[in-house]
Structure 1
Amino acid sequence: MTLYHFGNCIALIYIPYYLTYKYSGLSEYGAFWKCAQAGGIYMFTQLVKMLILATFFPDNISETGSDIVGEFLKATVDLADLIGLYIVLNGIPGKGHSKVLTAGIGWAIAEVILTRALFLWVGARGAEFDWKYIQKCLESNISLVQYIATTTLIWLWSRHDMKKNLKPLVTALLVFSTYKILILDMIVKYLMIGPWMSLLLKSVVTLVIGSFTLVIYAGLAQAIGIF
């Protein structure tokens, strides 16, 4: 039973990533090594973030009574992810959609392997069934959509042919994406929302961000003829 539960978790968390890679057309572009390169930059970025957090944000920051400010400053370190994704995008040749998907999927795969593989191996193989592992797997699928949307927003932000009135919206979506986890965690904690409702809230917010991003991207892509 425990092995069956572990297999279900692995399938739920990794098959959507595989299907996204396969049916997005990246396999036809031979983008595997570019995805691996994106994963390498992800690991380097996380190392830099850990060094910054360990240096400037010690564990006893909550003792100062500035929990909200401290968590906000810690979340600000996630801006390094935007820089890392920007570097990945600049290192990938090709059209806009292939660059965005390669960078986004490669970054998301690296994140899910480093943050979920050991967690599932240690926890999901336990003697007792727990819904939290299913929830974490579903949350990883939400993260896949978020990373692709964030990568698309970075690509849009770097374009010089985008309408000027859309630039503030793209910037606002990028900033919100950076602080999304902090904001949603505060809402969940304040409203005392359960884990399933919290997962639903995250999926709805991510869907809204992705929808806005898709509309902006589709408009620009149609205007410059990259479809």
Structure 2
Amino acid sequence: MTVLHFLSCVGITYAPIYIAYKSTRIGEFKSFSPVLFGAAGYFVTQLAKMMLLATFLPSFDTSIYSVYQEVIRLFNGVVDLFAIFVLLHLSHAPKDVRALGIGLGWALADALPRVYSLWGAMPLEFDSMHLINSFESNVATLHSVAICYVVASLTRKQKKSGNNSNNSGSNMLTDFLSILRTPSMALLSLIIYLTVPLVHSYLNLVVGANAFVLLAVNIAMVLANSLLIVSGPLKSELASSSSPTMARQ
């Protein structure tokens, strides 16, 4: 039974990513390079954040709630968004698979370290925390892919407005900051994306909510944001990708 519990947790965690890959245009085109590109970008981003935090910021206790730590979490989210922006800007994958491929790669890289924690599903007694962690991985996958579409939509609009810059880091940072200053439904989605970990931390450390409540709130926020994205940025992004001319950009 312990082996079945472990396999079920692994399946819940990684099967949705595989299904999304095989059932979409990435699988049809056998285009795995954007997935690898997104995964590599995730690991580089996390390494850069760890080095930055270890060098310039003091250590802090994640078991207590403080405004300082929440600012750090917010900063981490902004860095992730900038990394996704850079990956979309540098990727040479076809436009109609670029955002999805990078989003799946980002989600896969985020889920890979969970293998170690899932190994804890092998003890003699059943622990629901492993199933909860697996479902949280699914929620994170959905949010990562959706946010990649949002950033891709904002990037496309920026290029249409004639603000397309070269690949230098300073220009890309300027372009990224400019899209954050543009009021839109997509910007609201990015704000919700940055808010999710802050709400999770508050409920966990201040309210003392249990794991099931945290998962329910996480699912509710991500689904609400995903519906917002589907009705706005995703619709426009898919519409632009349907054009053969645009798809080759």
TM-score normalised by the chain length of structure 2: 0.79
1:3 CA displacement: 1.2
Provide the rounded CA distance (Å) in 2 between the counterparts of 1:77 and 1:192: 23
Give 1:108's aligned residue.
Answer: 107
Q: 1:119 to 1:217 in 2, by over 3 A?
A: same
Identity of aligned residues (%): 24
- The 5-angstrom pairing of residues 143-158 of structure 1 reads 143-158=140-155
- The 5-angstrom pairing of residues 129-140 of structure 1 reads 129-140=126-137
- Range with greater deviation from structure 2 (12-21 or 191-200): 191-200
1:94 CA displacement: 1.5
1:146 CA displacement: 0.4
Provide the rounded CA distance (Å) in 2 between the counterparts of 1:70 and 1:207: 26
Q: 1:9 to 1:168 in 2, by over 3 A?
A: same
- The 5-angstrom pairing of residues 18-167 of structure 1 reads 18-60=18-60, 67-90=66-89, 91-95=91-95, 97-114=96-113, 116-121=114-119, 123-160=120-157, 161=160, 167=183
Whether contact under 8 Å (2:73, 2:198) holds in the other structure is no
Provide the rounded CA distance (Å) in 2 between the counterparts of 1:102 and 1:222: 14
1:218 CA displacement: 4.9
Which has a greater percent of helix?
A: 1
Alignment deviations for residues 153-183 of structure 1 (CA, whole Å, 9 cap, x no partner): 1112212259x9x843322321331232112
Alignment of 1:179 with 2:195, yes or no, is yes
Unaligned runs of 5+ in 1: none
Matched position secondary structure for 2:232:
helix
Equivalent residue letter for 2:82: I
Q: 1:171 to 1:34 in 2, by over 3 A?
A: same
- Range with greater deviation from structure 2 (80-89 or 185-194): 185-194
Provide the rounded CA distance (Å) in 2 between the counterparts of 1:217 and 1:20: 19
* CA RMSD, Structure 1 to Structure 2 (Å): 2.5
1:200 CA displacement: 1.1
Alignment of 1:209 with 2:240, yes or no, is no
Whether contact under 8 Å (1:49, 1:78) holds in the other structure is no
Provide the rounded CA distance (Å) in 2 between the counterparts of 1:129 and 1:61: 29
Unaligned runs of 5+ in 2: 162-178, 244-249
Matched position secondary structure for 2:112:
helix
